[in-house]
Amino acid sequence: MTFVNKLSKSFRWLRCSTLCAILFYMFFIGLILHSTSQKLQQQLKEQGTSSSSSSSSSSSSSSSSSSSSSTQADTKMAPNVGHNGAQRWPNTLQELEQQQQKHEQSMRLQPVANNLDSRNENNHRQPHPQSQKVQNASKSPNQPETVILAASNVNEKQILAKAFKRADRSRDGILSIQELGQYINRRIVEHIDEAIMNNAREFRRVDIGPADGLITWDEYHRFFLREHGMTEADIDEHDEIRHTALNRRAREDMMRDKARWSEAARTDLFTLTIDEYLSFRHPESSVSNLLELVDDLLRQFDQDGDDQLTLEEFSDLNVDDDDDLMRKSLISKTLVERREEFKRIIDKNHDGKADRGELLNYVNPKTPRYALQEAATLFSLCDENKDELLTLKEMTDHAEIFLQSKMIDTANSFHTEF
């Protein structure tokens, strides 16, 4: 019995010691958790304080960036500034993200603020009467003619200024007749080469009903109307006799094409081949047209019928027939000029005669002689002080002449002439 009592006492002591140990460990763990939670709370408070200071600094930087766009670029990647003036970069990823969000928001709001400022500023300004007319003309379908003319005058001056700058190769602000002739020659060569290159592609676009390698007038007429913005339904109902759906310029072009069609259709009056189509659309680019000009020169000047021109034959110009004068528009007027032209330009091999090959080169618009004659004509009409130099002011003062010349409108100038 004594042994049993001792054993029970030892068990009670063990239970008590175990319970005390458990309580001690729980108390120790509680102290650790408490100290850890205090440290975490302190860190969170510090982070909250730093984030509020960074947000205030970013808001101040966004407000300062709204005053000038250059300040925006500088403050976008700038670090935060502490109380002592030292620079401090964001310490945490959360702080950096908040700073970036603030900056993006300020950037989104900046265009709106700028637009409002510009609108308020424009409301206080008194618009210029001419500019107000142009603005109203762009909004109203019934545009005043004076506004259209004012806008077109501005565009014309820009076109002339651009062409003048390109032609002025010496960059001295004035054009000589040689510079103008060289620029016109470049324009002519570019136009003719482009016309020849695009002829086959345009021929395929027109030859569609059916695509048989020949273009009828009906095929070209429908192509012409499509190029002027008409739909297939409108084309089917179009009155070809009156052309009421076309403006005046388009009607004039259509009448010109009708007259030119019969001249270009050599094999068949009702159809055009691909070569005849080039002669029809760009007569200045067609070799057949140039050969006809050579035949005209031989008929006019070849007195002995040997299919060649001598210096005396070319220089002998009969001024009695007005019709002959129209045909001889390519030739210089005075006897001395014609003789010099024959020696220097036409007679390439200097044998005293000009055959068909030399005459073909002479009438070819791509030769420099053709452009120099155009430049000389422009100088005679627009060189007001007769100093043989052309200024931009003299060009703009005679804008209508230059805009219709080969210097600016090369294609239409050729089409009118040929």
pLDDT in tens, 306-331: 999 998 888 876 544 444 444 445 45
Least confident of 40-49, 62-71, 223-232: 62-71
Assess whether pLDDT exceeds 60 at residue 378: yes
pLDDT the model gives residue 96: 47
Asked whether 65 and 77 are in contact (CB, 8 A), the reply is no
Least confident of 259-263, 284-288, 292-296: 284-288
Q: Which amino acid is at 280?
A: F
Average pLDDT of the residues of the chain: 74
Three-state DSSP state, 90: coil
Domain ranges of the chain: 176-189+286-415
pLDDT band at 20; cut points 50, 70, 90: confident
pLDDT in tens, 116-169: 444 444 444 444 444 443 344 333 334 433 333 344 566 888 999 999 999 999
Q: How many CA atoms lie within 13 A of 400 on its CB side?
A: 1
Asked whether 102 and 108 are in contact (CB, 8 A), the reply is no
Residues 6+ apart with CB under 8 A from 327: 296, 300
pLDDT the model gives residue 126: 44
pLDDT the model gives residue 7: 56
Tell which residue, 312, 310, 273, 279, has the closest CA to residue 293: 279
Of 37 and 269, the structure prediction assigns the larger pLDDT to 269
pLDDT the model gives residue 42: 73
Q: What is the pTM of this model?
A: 0.56
- 5 to 2, 12, 236, 336: CA distances (angstroms): 5, 11, 127, 158
CATH classification code of 176-189+286-415: 1.10.238
pLDDT the model gives residue 8: 59
pLDDT the model gives residue 191: 92
pLDDT the model gives residue 113: 44
Radius of gyration of the chain (CA): 44
